[in-house]
Amino acid sequence: MHTDTERCVRAVQSKDSRFDGWFFTAVLTTRIYCRPSCPVVPPKVENMTFYPSAAACQQAGFRACKRCRPDTSPGSPEWNARADSVARAMRLIRDGVVDREGVPGLAARLGYSARQIERQLLAELGAGPLALARAQRAQTARLLIETTGLPMAEVAFAAGFSSIRTFNDTVREVFALAPGELRSRAARSATPPPTPGVIALRLPYRAPLNPTNLFGHLAATAVPGVEEWRDGAYRRTLTLRYGHGIVALTPHPDHIACRLSLTDPRDLTLAISRCRWLLDLDADPVAVDDQLRADPLLAPLVDKAPGRRVPRTVDGAEFAVRAVLGQQVSTAAARTHAARLVTAHGLPVDDPEGGLTHLFPTPGALAALDPEQLALPRSRRTTLTTLVGALADGTLRLGTGTDWEKARAELTALPGFGPWTVEVITMRALGDPDAFLPTDLGIRRAAGQLGLPSTPAALTARAAAWRPWRAYAVQYLWTVDDHPINHLPA
């Protein structure tokens, strides 16, 4: 979009927050870059230039605006809607893969050479993987500086910097303030003061966002001990790269309040990325709803409660296991089966603020389970143990950077994986916005009540007009049935 100068100028002059994250405005006279909705007086058109990423702005010598804080914009919705190598690379960079494994590790995950990935990202985003990762490290550092009391040396290494000097230089270059100045400014405005051991931050999103189905679904399907709804917040444990954490997510009219407790601050980037992914916060609800509203049978559902998101997961392997446990049983039964696995194989954790007790067991831990102890039909046991084995030995990888069509083929080849299981994993674990569930009982009931075709083949043909947003159509169709997933808990 950044190449459409006229459209970008209109967005900046109208301060349209819908375009935050789509592009960034750099001002040639002040050498500052902003988000489109920056509250300051818009600069003259001849002084504006546009970039596709914050990293590209920083590479061109611009610093972040102190008013609108463009580094905290929602991510571009393109990276969640596309399945090509650039989109997959952006999702992996957002998860911190470059910081942990370098550019060669990123390229290996994508199946390309490092030079190809560098060339593709430069062509589309104006910055290579190292620059994009550097921009993310700068934002992580700012969060740690402003929300914790960690010494600056620990902040530097937790944010992914290789040296304190690089950390200091980057923070000064990006924010035009020294790390100590950032902390002083944050301390003056913080009310109440930060809680020791807790990182509190705001997760932005594009309006509208309807929390009812999003948090209602997560609460209704919560696995006891791993997830809970408490005091108006969805809480769960997180298995992370260097340790584990507990997150509490509370919906507000203009943001999601996020409280993170981490055993290792180096996991902050990954934890934030997982939370944004879980709640689908980088979606473009206006684009989605406009297309779905064009269908006269879906329009009343969209108009009644616009801005529905797809409730996802923080761990693809975890969700795949839970999807198998939920085959052909009620939500309550699926939660019971999952809770038994958690109690038997999950790692215990302490939760002073609530009732969380375990991490969901990893595929490696579940590989040792005795299938005869599972209260499941024999065929379902085979399905579960085969899935766990493939996840544990690495032959099946389910993550934000996974190729959707390749994953569909690999899942379909496993015993006991029908279209429903494959599509629900692709939708909620892998984030495909076009995944569709024509055989789902709730979808078939909704189709009958709305006058849509009732057979899976005919409904799939009708749903072609909803592409590439069929996963969001599923969220609206599920609201037709009075199910707990459609209601926030009291």
Domain containing residue 44: CATH number: 3.40.10.10
Q: Provide long-range contacts, Cβ within 8 A and 24+ apart, for 269-273.
A: 269/95, 269/96, 269/99, 269/136, 269/137, 269/140, 269/159, 269/160, 270/95, 270/96, 270/240, 270/241, 271/238, 271/240, 271/245, 271/247, 272/140, 272/143, 272/201, 272/203, 273/94, 273/95, 273/96, 273/400
- Location of structure tokens 């972040």: 64
> CA-CA distance, 84 to 292, in Å (whole number)?
24
Same domain, 47 and 130: no
Let me know if residue 178 belongs to a domain: yes
Task: For residues 38 and 122, state if they share a domain.
Answer: no
Q: Domain check: are 44 and 135 in the same one?
A: no
| 203 occurs within a structural domain | no
394: left (phi over 0), alpha (psi -120 to 50) or beta: left
Note whether residue 387 is domain-resident.
no
Same domain flag for 16 and 111: no
Number of domains comprising the chain: 2
Q: By C-alpha distance, which of 449, 450, 451, 452 is closest to 438?
A: 452
In a shared domain, residues 33 and 120: no
pTM of the model: 0.92
Q: What is the pLDDT along the chain (490 residues), one digit of tens a residue?
A: 788 899 999 999 999 888 999 999 999 999 999 999 999 999 999 999 999 999 999 999 999 999 999 988 888 888 888 889 999 999 999 999 998 899 999 999 999 999 999 999 999 999 999 999 999 999 999 989 988 888 999 999 999 998 999 999 999 999 999 999 999 988 877 656 667 778 999 999 999 999 999 999 999 999 999 999 999 999 999 999 999 999 999 999 999 999 999 999 999 999 999 999 999 999 999 999 999 999 999 999 999 999 999 999 999 999 999 999 999 888 899 999 999 999 999 999 999 999 999 999 999 999 988 888 888 889 999 999 999 999 999 999 999 899 999 999 999 999 999 999 999 999 999 999 999 999 999 999 999 999 999 899 999 999 999 999 999 999 999 999 888 899 888 7
- Strands of 30-134 (E only): list them: 32-34, 48-51, 63-64
Residue 176 falls inside a structural domain: yes
**Catalytic entry in 8, 34, 65, 275:** 34
What CATH number did the domain enclosing 97 receive?
Answer: 1.10.10.60
Q: Is residue 404 part of a domain?
A: no
65 is catalytic: no
Q: How many CB atoms lie within 10 A of CB 166?
A: 13
Q: Are residues 104 and 128 in the same domain?
A: yes
- The tokens 């143990």 sit on which residue? 385
Query: Does residue 169 sit within a domain?
Result: yes
50 & 102 share domain: no
Of 20, 432, 434, 440, which residue is the catalytic one? 440
Backbone angles phi, psi at 239, to 5 degrees: -95, 120
Please tell me whether residues 98 and 13 are part of one structural domain.
no
Residue 64 belongs to what domain range? 5-72
Q: Is residue 52 part of a domain?
A: yes
Residue type, position 400, single letter = T
Active site residue 440: yes
Question: Is 86 inside a domain boundary?
Answer: yes
